[in-house]
Amino acid sequence: METNEGLKRVLMSKAEARIDRLLKGMAEGTGEDFQELESVVQVESRAFGRSCLEAVLEEKAKEQGWAARRVGRCGHRQRLVGKRPRQMLTVLGPLVVHRAYYQCMKDAKDQREEGEATCPCGEAPFDWQWGWNTRRSSPGVQKAVSYLSAHLTLEGVSEAISRLLSWEISARQVLNLTQPVGEAFVRQENEQVQEMFKQGASKRTSEAERQSARAEPITRLYVEMDGVFARLRRGSVVLEKEEQEREGDVYRDIKVGAVFLAQPGQERSELAPGVFLDTPGPIRYGARRTTAEAFAPLLYALARREGITRAKQVVVLGDGAHWIWRLADEQFPGAVQMVDAYHAREPVWDVARAAFAAESSQREEWATHVIDALAQGRIEEVIAAIQRLPPLAPPPGRSRSVAETEAEYFRPTAERMRYPLFRAQGMHVGSGGAEAACKVVVSTRAKRAGMRWTPDGLDAILALRTAVLNAAFDQRWFACRQTA
């Protein structure tokens, strides 16, 4: 009680001092400028909060005691050196706490003579109690910086902190705080995926799965996939043969997935009376710098969290990449497979630009006619229209022309482009959703002008960004803090 009363008097004294400063600042201003008044109150409020936090921590350090002798974590007897200051960066700004600091009574020479490993020779029990032994920033700072880093560049985070919170942090410090959080998120996600598959193999059912089984069934769930390249620093990854023969940075593929539930839309299907076309519900994302085989379990786990086991129908959308359909066959057997309309139109325009390079009107006319046949699901007509074009020369370094390549693109994917059949069932046929996922998750944050990544840095940012976009950042942060 006496301790609390003493701390209360200290805090009251600090409050009075800050109120006096606030009133003085108001008196020195114009008194009629709201922005100025708001700024004065904000500065003094933050300073008061910082001084209160500092006072509370100083009191905690006193409560811990000042024993003259103790046994350190190293196992040696230690002597009290005295009070030493320790600075910590908090969300309220930097503060200083004076705490007891101890040193080993054996010096390095004595330890060597007795065959012991050299001891670090000094520690502060207070630092270990509050988790300050390995950090100089508070968890609140690390959380705020990591969250901002999912949206902004490192330099952008530094500037935002300076403008909004009035304390300084460098881009390097931002990276040092952010990367461990992203890496922890990756580990946590991997552990959850492994646990899910382990439960499946042992046929154990978790409480979350039992609750999911009792929930309402889902009419239709969509899974979209695509890939995008990001630039990495040369020397940060093992170079492939062709990369060794040229200079400059290197690129690595990032697999991106998007999962969403169908929601009833307002647009009617022109092919089936009373059927409304689906619209995407809230989208959940997954992204990894990895192979398709390693990405598959992550994407399936994401779909499972979104309720795939309750879905009456699953639709997989993507472009014509073989890895997408291979993954769909393995992870989502029985799903409807569809090339989304955006990607289906792209090769048509590639052919049109190659065949009618100097004739824009013919290019537009030909492409419009072929895309109309494509929209009607008449893929055989699309292939025939490409084959009727005059022979084209292959691009430099290629053995086949654009027309030959794209005709081959349509043949194996014809059944995935029967759009009238899909629309008659009310399915969302896509308009670049997977492409948009690549932009939202990767390009917007990791492919800005001049950006070059290390593998670890890129992986960390992808984990942070998907956690934020999936509204799971706080949940993942809490889980990481529980296991730290």
> pLDDT tens digits, residue range 392-423?
888 888 889 999 999 999 999 999 999 999 99
Quick one: pLDDT band at residue 203, thresholds 50, 70, 90?
A: low
Q: What average pLDDT does the segment 53-82 reach?
A: 89
Which is more confident, 245 or 53? 53
* Pairwise CA distance, residues 484 & 330, whole Å: 35
Q: Identify the sign of the CA torsion 476, 477, 483, 484.
A: positive
Q: Please report the pLDDT score of residue 445 as a whole number.
A: 94
- C-alpha 127/C-alpha 58 separation (Å) is 12
How far apart are alpha carbons 29 and 44 in whole angstroms?
Answer: 14
Which range is most confident: 24-38, 169-183, 195-209, 259-273? Answer: 169-183
The pLDDT of residue 270: 82
In this predicted structure, the answer to whether residue 114 has a pLDDT above a threshold of 60 is no
pTM metric for this prediction: 0.86
Per-residue pLDDT band for 300 (boundaries 50, 70, 90) equals very high
pLDDT of 461 reads 96
pLDDT at 340: 87
| pLDDT above 60 (res 111) | no
| pLDDT at position 336 | 96
The share of the chain scoring above pLDDT 90, in percent, equals 58
* pLDDT tens track for 370-387: 999 999 999 999 999 999
Mean pLDDT confidence for 110-120 = 55
- Give the residue from 471, 422, 73 showing the smallest Cα distance to 285: 471
**Close Cβ partners of 189 (under 8 Å, ≥ 6 residues apart):** 298, 463, 476
Q: What six digits make up the tokens of 393?
A: 């020369």
- What's the confidence (pLDDT) of residue 25? 75
From 370, 323, 333, 344, select the one nearest 431 (Cα to Cα): 344
Cα–Cα distance, 379 to 383 (Å, whole number): 6
**Looking at residue 112, what is its pLDDT?**
56
Instruction: Say yes or no to pLDDT of 212 above 70.
Output: no
Q: Is-contact 480 181, C-beta < 8 A?
A: yes
Stronger pLDDT, 418 or 25, i.e. the higher one: 418
Name the one residue in this structure whose structure tokens are 């300084």.
168
pLDDT of 106 reads 67
- Mean of the per-residue pLDDT values of the chain: 88
Distance CA 116, CA 95 (A): 37
Q: In the chain, where are the structural domains located?
A: 2-63, 65-136, 343-416
The 10s digit of each residue's pLDDT in 34-43 is 888 888 888 8
Banded model confidence at residue 214, pLDDT cuts 50, 70, 90: low
Q: What is residue 246's predicted lDDT score, i.e. its pLDDT?
A: 86
Burial 87-121 (b: 16+ CB within 10 A, else e): ebbbbbbebebbbbbbbbebeeeebeeeeeeebeb
Tell me which of 147-151, 201-205, 239-243, 444-448 is least confident.
Answer: 201-205
| Helices 139-149 and 455-469, axial angle in degrees (round to 10) | 90
